Amino acid sequence: MKKKIIVACGGAVATSTLAAEEIKELCSENNIQLDLIQCRINEINTFIDDVDLICTTARMDQHFGDIPIVHGMPFVSGVGIDQLKEKILSILKG
């Protein structure tokens, strides 16, 4: 079953692209089929149906029901990246 992930940032270009590439690689390495959507934070509601995970690289105070949200800045900075990958895998495999 494909997992649907939204990767969002303020501008939907630089940081979300880094995070999206890392998530694609992580899912590929773990045999997780992926439907990945890249957008701006203010566009999340447009793609929210059947989403398994939201990864943001910008500050966001909004919540979307029980959809898990992870902060993706470790994909940009490298600090805490292993813990973030473990967290994403636990959410997607859970």
Pairing of strands 3-9, 69-71: unpaired
**CB contact at 8 A, 53 and 67:** yes
Q: Is 9 a catalytic residue?
A: yes
Chain position carrying tokens 């636990």 = 90
Q: Which of 9, 27, 39, 55 is catalytic?
A: 9
Q: Which residues carry out catalysis?
A: 9
